[in-house]
Structure 1
Amino acid sequence: MQQSEVVLHLGKLMLAAGAGSYRVKSAMARAASAVGIDRHQATVTMTELVTSSYEGERFRTEAAEVRRVGVNVDRLEALRRIVHDLRAHERVEILEAKLTEVESMRGLYGPITNALASGVACAGFCFLNKGGWAECLAVLVAAALGQAVRRAMLVRHMQHFYAWLVSGVIASTLYMAVIAGLSTAGLISPGHQGGIISAILFLIPGFPMVTAMLDLFRQDFSSAVSRMSYVIMVMMAAGVAVWTVTSIADWDVTGTAAPTPEGPLLYGLRLLCSFVAAYGFAVLFNARARACLISAIIGAVANTGRLVLIDVHHVPWQMAVGLAAVVIGLLAQAFVSRASLSRVALSVPAVVIMIPGVPFYRAISALNDHTVDTRVAVGQAAASIAEVLFVITAIGVGLALARIMTDRNWRHDMPTSGMIELPEPEGD
């Protein structure tokens, strides 16, 4: 009984920290072998675990629900190290003590640092989306305060749809207020409405989106469908928020592109903004400074290369994103053995900056158009959503190809549960 409980405890902690189904299953199977369970099977969704532990002719089936899900890279790293160091004949009491210690870990960053990371990351996004200084400033303020509200709501265990909706409304309203203040002061001219979309990009559920795609390519459909359903739910909540605010204020979310430099200076600034955006999202994922730095470097190099392919070589957006995702996956693998970090800690913050949140939210906000019942308006929204789906698929395909090229367990269709042989403890 204690053996199966400690294995289930491990699975619950990994699921709550944002691990994908493959990682949860393989970690539990390794822990089960370490504590003397003959065979272990598991079914994993985003919020539920059903496990069966076998010992001879006896078996025990348990189910657990994990309601407080999120993203905590630091906790995932600690759990990964525990699983990696497991040896045969591991004592249940020692493993449980390690898991309890991980469960008591506090976040690395306080509310102010967390909020500023959101604001800076979204401001970098805004420049990449052709925003000017006014848009970037307004986005920094709006996204920082919006993230502060979301974090406060999640700490109080508010329902995720509600938290995304409220923080989306607040961020959108704050963006409009800052732009209105700058316009009233005579610092800017009209035409800065489009940046409002960048102000809510901190609400993109990048981590579950990526893990859902990877679970899908692993043919773990129960987990993939539940995670993607969650992604759609919270993105629609944010979309409804910005739609409501822009509808009341009668704002045009398309806006106009601000003047930007050209040539090497432009790509230098894009490199810097990509680095800042990836670093900020890594902080939001509660990654340590070393992981933030490496993932930001990877993201900056890959995203700038993607933009060069699109602008200079006229490569289709989807293909450029897929190639960049492959590069991110390979670079993450290259740093894994050197930095003792997991792939997910390095690849997800780097790839999140390529998720096309702006076209998606603009498609939702197109419903604000008074001609929504015309074929033109519906066609524009449908085209934007189709473009988003193709790009997200390209990201998943790119990361999956990188894993297939570097991981034998991904090249072969092998079960993630079952019997795993572990090395004996040192000295035996």
Structure 2
Amino acid sequence: MDAVYSQESKLEPIGLIRASRTVVRTGTMLLAAGSGSYRVKSSMKALGRALGMSDVHAQVTINEITATCHRGPMYRTEVAQTATIGVNSDRIKLIQTYCEALEPADETTSPEEIARRLDDAEAFLDAAEAKPHLYPDWLNSLCAAIACGAFAFLNNGGPVEIGAVLIGAFLGQYSRRLMLHRHLNQLAVAMIAGAVASIVYLGLAHGMYLAGLVESIHESGYISAVLFLVPGFPLITAALDLSHLDFSAGMSRLAYALMIMISAALSVWAVSTLWGLTPIPQEKHELVPWALFAFRLLASALGVWGFAMIFNSPFIVAVVAAGVGMIANTARLVLMDAGLFTQGAAFFAGLIVGVLCNLIAPRLDIPRITLSVPAVVIMIPGAAGYRAIYYLNAGDTLQALAYGVEAVFVVIAVAVGLTFARTLTDRNWLVTGK
């Protein structure tokens, strides 16, 4: 490689400029797809070393990258920003798998080979960027409806409420997708989509109540209709980034997730206030134990599968994530029924997800995050978070604090479980600075 450095040092480092742009572009594409900063940095390092760089140092937030690429005595620092913030599990899988498969360059790697690798990397990124989403908007919205319907059952809703949630969530997610395609402000999109879903749910439920089909409109059910807006990817990746002491990425992701949740909760609060409702938790299902256990398994699997599909995961990845989430979430609910406190049950569920994903993902050659995040989103207490905002706006500080603390500590407990599992199976995660 010294020969490469000596030849290039006599000229403008055009090769380094082009290679560093490609490395930074890889990072920004992963960021825009929702990947955590740890994997963004590791993928950039892997590609950089394959292109003959001695090292790549990157500072990452939720939508910005500052990277310095070193090649012998030369280095180049570049700052980039992503145009959008979203989730695309398929793109994460494509890029991360590609980067991890690259062989690092060494003294025997010729300049021609490095140039060929650079051409291949640019062509690959062009193809990945041009690849459309795996599922059309209507199917994505249907999956969101199924996930929210599963949430409705887990939140103690009955068949009528689940049916209303399915329609409300479908229309809410479909309107959200249409607005995002037009690059509207994401906070405004969350508010409008939340309002659409909750209004449709309440309209249907109220109509059935007036017709005498149901005894109540299940006032807490309208929260399930907007749970497709829960920013599961940013919340979980923020917690994982913070556990790895990456505060710039973790805090920016956490701030983004909170803003999305607050925006959606404000619209839900406004709709419920106009309707004169309060999001009171529903009484538990009166089912025989074996039937309750079976329906919990089914609802957990459908909820995780629906969220994985929303995240644009390949179908097989969504199915595997559903299996993992089904086991972990049902175990969480059983532990809670047995008397274990909510946060403790969430920790063990996160640990189960982390261990299973760390065992399964390498064998399927897929990133862990594409399995673990959908599997734990079903455990995120979105209903408690929305209730906290409702009571805060209503002036009931004690109720707001109670629900808010519950939501925060459950998320922390799940993240701790995931992190603990990760440290057992990934040495680079255990040792900070890697």
Query: Does the alignment reach a TM-score above 0.5?
Result: yes
Partner of 1:412: 431
Q: 1:112 and 2:128 equivalent? A: no
Contact 2:231 2:257 in 1 (8 A): yes
Q: 1:198 and 2:198 equivalent? A: no
Partner of 1:330: 355
Contact 1:191 1:256 in 2 (8 A): no
1:53–1:334: structure 2 CA closer, same or farther, 3 Å change rule? Answer: same
CA distance in structure 1 between the aligned counterparts of 2:167 and 2:281, rounded to whole angstroms: 19
Deviation at residue 258 of structure 1 after TM alignment: 6.4
Contact 1:243 1:367 in 2 (8 A): no
Deviation at residue 56 of structure 1 after TM alignment: 2.4
Q: What's the % identity of the aligned pairs? A: 40
Partner of 1:40: 56
Amino acid of the residue matched to residue 338 of structure 1?
R
Partner of 1:121: 147
Deviates more, 1:316-325 or 1:185-194: 185-194
Contact 1:191 1:255 in 2 (8 A): no
**Any idea what SS the aligned residue of 1:261 has?**
coil
Please give the per-residue CA displacement for 1:227-250, whole angstroms capped at 9, x wherever unaligned: 000001000001101110011111
Q: 1:179 and 2:179 equivalent? A: no
Query: Which residues of 2 match residues 346-361 of structure 1 at below 5 A?
Result: 346-361=371-386
Partner of 1:385: 404
Partner of 1:262: 288
1:255–1:326: structure 2 CA closer, same or farther, 3 Å change rule? Answer: closer
Deviation at residue 337 of structure 1 after TM alignment: 2.5
**Any idea what SS the aligned residue of 2:286 has?**
coil
1:255–1:394: structure 2 CA closer, same or farther, 3 Å change rule? Answer: closer
CA distance in structure 1 between the aligned counterparts of 2:54 and 2:284, rounded to whole angstroms: 63
Structure number with greater CO (CA < 8 Å, separation at least 6) is: 1
Amino acid of the residue matched to residue 116 of structure 1?
L
Please give the per-residue CA displacement for 1:186-222, whole angstroms capped at 9, x wherever unaligned: 2112241110111110000000111000000010000
Of 176, 181, 185, the residue aligned with 1:159 is: 185
Please give the per-residue CA displacement for 1:96-128, whole angstroms capped at 9, x wherever unaligned: 111111111110111111111011100100100
Deviation at residue 78 of structure 1 after TM alignment: 0.5
Amino acid of the residue matched to residue 382 of structure 2?
G
Of 343, 366, 369, the residue aligned with 2:391 is: 366
Partner of 2:305: 279
Partner of 1:216: 242
CA distance in structure 1 between the aligned counterparts of 2:54 and 2:364, rounded to whole angstroms: 33
Partner of 1:11: 27
Amino acid of the residue matched to residue 100 of structure 1?
D
**Any idea what SS the aligned residue of 1:193 has?**
coil
Amino acid of the residue matched to residue 407 of structure 1?
D
Deviation at residue 338 of structure 1 after TM alignment: 2.2
CA distance in structure 1 between the aligned counterparts of 2:230 and 2:349, rounded to whole angstroms: 19
Contact 1:17 1:73 in 2 (8 A): yes
CA distance in structure 2 between the aligned counterparts of 1:359 and 1:267, rounded to whole angstroms: 23
CA distance in structure 1 between the aligned counterparts of 2:215 and 2:193, rounded to whole angstroms: 28
Q: TM-score, normalised by structure 2?
A: 0.92
CA distance in structure 2 between the aligned counterparts of 1:396 and 1:184, rounded to whole angstroms: 44
Deviation at residue 260 of structure 1 after TM alignment: 3.1
Amino acid of the residue matched to residue 61 of structure 2?
T
- Equivalences, count: 408
Q: 1:396 and 2:415 equivalent? A: yes
Query: Which residues of 2 match residues 227-266 of structure 1 at below 5 A?
Result: 227-254=253-280, 256-257=282-283, 259-266=285-292
Deviation at residue 69 of structure 1 after TM alignment: 1.6
1:134–1:52: structure 2 CA closer, same or farther, 3 Å change rule? Answer: same
Query: Which residues of 2 match residues 308-319 of structure 1 at below 5 A?
Result: 308-311=334-337, 313-319=338-344
- For structure 1, the 5+ residue unaligned runs are 416-428
Amino acid of the residue matched to residue 315 of structure 2?
A
Amino acid of the residue matched to residue 357 of structure 1?
G
Deviates more, 1:330-339 or 1:319-328: 330-339
- Cα RMSD over matched residues? 1.2
**Any idea what SS the aligned residue of 1:170 has?**
helix
Amino acid of the residue matched to residue 364 of structure 1?
I
Deviation at residue 55 of structure 1 after TM alignment: 2.0
CA distance in structure 2 between the aligned counterparts of 1:258 and 1:57, rounded to whole angstroms: 67
Contact 1:14 1:79 in 2 (8 A): yes
Query: Which residues of 2 match residues 63-78 of structure 1 at below 5 A?
Result: 63-78=79-94
CA distance in structure 2 between the aligned counterparts of 1:143 and 1:365, rounded to whole angstroms: 20
Q: 1:304 and 2:327 equivalent? A: no
**Any idea what SS the aligned residue of 2:220 has?**
helix
Q: Which runs of 4+ in 1 moved over 4 A?
A: none
1:144–1:63: structure 2 CA closer, same or farther, 3 Å change rule? Answer: same
Partner of 1:147: 173
Partner of 2:95: 79
Q: TM-score, normalised by structure 1?
A: 0.93
CA distance in structure 2 between the aligned counterparts of 1:277 and 1:62, rounded to whole angstroms: 41
